[in-house]
């Protein structure tokens, strides 16, 4: 019997959660000991660096990255090879490589997982980037809330120095490269590349106008290449296995894989890495194992506070940079939040806007004042006090902020509102015209009512109501005073046998 039982154990890679995944950026996460350079070496670690330094010219490295089709995983999707080329073409006495590990998108933890699971891969990639672009120093900007990641990076850097993969004359090629860690205080705007560099320089993390781009005038005024953690995580494999290996995965213009932090109303939450071009349906139904409680899928948010939602009508969209941009979303850094029929889309839009209002650095007024005004308008809608004219004004202001803000934070802050207005206009209208929240989430619009046909007058509800909003004689119909009701739902729970109370 025991024998039979053992054969019933299904290996992880055959389970739905893993079947459709392809682990490239995360290939060593969950496999090797991240604090051991020896284990990294055992799985081909530093082979790409050795190959490049001893056999490839810097321009060859850039060409391989270009040919691979790798695009930035930090949100924008800019072609990585092209970015490296820009820096390489600018001559200067000093150039820098910067790794963006600020990861400010709420709910996202892809970059943290790479740093904690495979820190040497980032060290190797940054050295490769330094060699390709002519930089001899690099900075990793990590948020201070990631102490495990910081500790493992420190260990990795020390080990790499000891083995000679960092420092002077690496692989006797004459190439020198050194790495430093800088801790960020966790402000969302510090993830924006120019604010990040200002912060590394020791100043207040505020964006600066571009141009000049970092490739011309970046960190300490020198040509700088800045990439996201996950972007770097793909680099050693591309150099080692060749551009074609990477370009064979994904869609026409989005190659390779993308890591998502899957969360919200989904059975399997976690970190998933899928080939570009996987559909949202595959992610939700197969990898994610569907929605808990048999509820219906409504939408998924990508790109966090800078992105937008993909509605159920577009669930078969293959996920890649261009498809997401076309529907008004964006790839973002990899947060993927699933929403079901119980989520109010106006409330979702407000959640993200609340975040940007808090995180706006205040340097420019369209973002600082504009997002605050948008937040007030959304509050009016949620409280049932808005008019159709307010909806028009909200949309107008959203476009104005997008066009006139200095940095990406302000330029993308209105996206969650615009996307929900585009796909769920009916929900906005229900709040404004009918003063009703279709998902029964917005507290001010909620009403608990007693069905006169069903009520038997047992007095249970009146006894549990904390604010004495329910009146009625025993054995007679009870009524809820809407003015007094605080929408706690206690009465509805109390009436579970008779079920005379409903929430509308």
Partner 1 sequence: MIKNIAQLNEKKEECFAKMTKSDAGEALTRVVVGMATCGIAAGATPVFKAIEQTIQELALSNITVTQTGCIGMCQYEPIVEITVPGEEKVTYVQMNAEKAAQVVKEHLANGKPVADYTVSAATE
Ligand X SMILES: Cc1cc2nc3c(=O)[nH]c(=O)nc-3n(C[C@H](O)[C@H](O)[C@H](O)COP(=O)(O)O)c2cc1C
Q: Is 294 exposed, middle or buried (0-12, 13-18, 19+ CB in 10 A)?
A: exposed
Q: Which does 117 bind (CB under 5 to 8 A by kind): ligand SF4, partner 1, ligand X, none?
A: partner 1
- Listed in sequence order, the DSSP H helices in 8-135 are 16-19, 37-42, 47-55, 58-68, 80-89, 110-117, 119-133
Distance from C-alpha of 312 to C-alpha of 295, rounded to nearest angstrom? 13
Kindly state the DSSP code that residue 213 receives in the 8-state scheme.
Answer: P
Q: Which does 498 bind (CB under 5 to 8 A by kind): partner 1, ligand SF4, ligand X, none?
A: ligand SF4
Kindly state the DSSP code that residue 295 receives in the 8-state scheme.
Answer: P
Q: Please tell me whether residue 192 binds ligand X under the rule CB under 6 A.
A: yes
Q: Work out which of 199, 224, 231, 415 binds ligand X, going by CB under 6 A.
A: 231
Distance from C-alpha of 263 to C-alpha of 337, rounded to nearest angstrom? 5
Q: Please tell me whether residue 102 binds ligand X under the rule CB under 6 A.
A: yes
Q: Is the peptide bond before 47 cis (omega within 30 degrees of 0)?
A: no
Least Å from the CB of residue 204 to ligand X: 15
Q: Work out which of 457, 479, 487, 502 binds ligand SF4, going by CB under 6 A.
A: 457
Q: Is the peptide bond before 211 cis (omega within 30 degrees of 0)?
A: yes
Part in contact with ligand X (CB under 6 A); list of ranges 189-197, 260-268, 335-343, 450-458: 189-197
Q: Which does 500 bind (CB under 5 to 8 A by kind): ligand SF4, ligand X, partner 1, none?
A: ligand SF4
Q: Work out which of 75, 138, 366, 370 binds ligand X, going by CB under 6 A.
A: 75
Least Å from the CB of residue 22 to partner 1: 13
Distance from C-alpha of 86 to C-alpha of 64, rounded to nearest angstrom? 15
Contact 396, 354 (CB under 8 A): no
Q: Please tell me whether residue 85 binds ligand X under the rule CB under 6 A.
A: no
Q: Please tell me whether residue 320 binds ligand X under the rule CB under 6 A.
A: no
Residue 171 or 213: the one with the smaller Cβ distance to partner 1 is 171
- Listed in sequence order, the DSSP H helices in 438-497 are 460-464, 490-494
Instruction: State the virtual CA torsion across 40, 41, 45, 49 in degrees, nearest 10.
Output: 140
Q: Work out which of 113, 194, 199, 360 binds ligand SF4, going by CB under 6 A.
A: 360
Residue 156 or 409: the one with the smaller Cβ distance to ligand X is 409
Q: Please tell me whether residue 206 binds ligand X under the rule CB under 6 A.
A: no
Distance from C-alpha of 423 to C-alpha of 415, rounded to nearest angstrom? 12
Q: Which does 279 bind (CB under 5 to 8 A by kind): ligand SF4, ligand X, partner 1, none?
A: none
In the complex, the residues that contact ligand X under the rule CB under 6 A are: 72-76, 78, 100, 102-104, 188-189, 191-193, 226-228, 231, 333, 407-409
């Amino acid at each position: 019997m025991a024998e039979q039982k053992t054969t019933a154990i299904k290996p992880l890679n055959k389970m739905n959660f893993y079947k459709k995944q392809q682990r490239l950026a995360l290939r060593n996460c969950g496999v090797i000991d991240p604090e051991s350079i020896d284990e990294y070496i055992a799985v081909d670690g530093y082979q790409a660096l050795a190959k490049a330094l001893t056999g490839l010219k810097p321009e060859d490295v850039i060409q391989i990255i270009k040919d691979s089709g790798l695009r930035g995983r930090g949100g924008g999707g800019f072609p990585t090879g092209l970015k490296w080329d820009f820096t390489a073409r600018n001559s200067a006495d000093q150039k820098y490589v910067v790794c963006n590990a600020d990861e400010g998108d709420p709910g996202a933890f892809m970059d943290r997982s790479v740093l904690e699971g495979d820190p040497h891969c980032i060290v190797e990639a940054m050295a490769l980037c330094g060699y390709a672009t002519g930089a001899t120093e690099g900075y990793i900007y990590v948020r201070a809330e990631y102490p495990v990641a910081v500790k493992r990076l420190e260990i990795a850097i020390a080990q790499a120095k000891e083995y000679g993969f960092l420092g002077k004359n690496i692989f006797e090629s004459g190439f020198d490269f050194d790495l430093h860690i800088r801790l960020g205080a966790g402000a969302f705007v510090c993830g924006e590349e120019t604010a990040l560099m200002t912060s590394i320089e020791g100043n207040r993390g505020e964006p600066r106008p571009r141009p000049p781009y970092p490739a011309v005038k970046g960190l300490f005024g020198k040509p700088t290449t800045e990439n996201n953690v996950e972007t770097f995580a793909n680099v050693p494999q591309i150099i080692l296995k060749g551009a074609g290996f990477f370009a064979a995965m994904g869609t026409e213009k989005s190659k390779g894989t993308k890591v998502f932090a899957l969360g919200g109303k989904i059975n399997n939450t976690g970190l998933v890495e899928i080939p570009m071009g996987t559909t949202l349906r595959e992610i939700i139904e197969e990898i994610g194992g569907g929605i808990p409680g048999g509820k219906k899928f409504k939408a998924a948010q990508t790109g966090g506070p800078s992105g937008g939602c993909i509605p159920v009508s577009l669930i078969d969209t293959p996920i890649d940079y261009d498809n997401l941009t076309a529907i008004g979303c964006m790839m973002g850094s990899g947060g993927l939040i699933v929403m079901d029929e119980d989520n109010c889309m106006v409330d979702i839009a407000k959640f993200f806007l609340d975040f940007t209002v808090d995180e706006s650095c205040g340097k420019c007024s369209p973002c600082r004042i504009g997002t605050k005004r948008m937040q007030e308008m959304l509050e009016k809608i949620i409280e049932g006090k808005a008019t159709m004219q307010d909806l028009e004004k909200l949309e107008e202001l959203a476009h104005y902020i997008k066009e006139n803000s200095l940095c990406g934070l302000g330029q993308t802050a209105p996206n969650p509102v615009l996307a929900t207005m585009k796909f769920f206009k009916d929900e906005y209208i229900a709040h404004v015209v009918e003063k009703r929240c279709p998902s029964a989430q917005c507290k001010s619009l909620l009403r608990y009512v007693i069905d006169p046909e069903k009520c038997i007058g047992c007095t249970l509800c009146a006894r549990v109501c904390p604010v004495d909003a329910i009146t009625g004689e025993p054995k007679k119909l009870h009524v809820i005073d809407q003015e007094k009701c605080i929408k706690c739902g206690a009465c509805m729970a109390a009436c579970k046998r008779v079920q005379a109370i409903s929430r509308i």
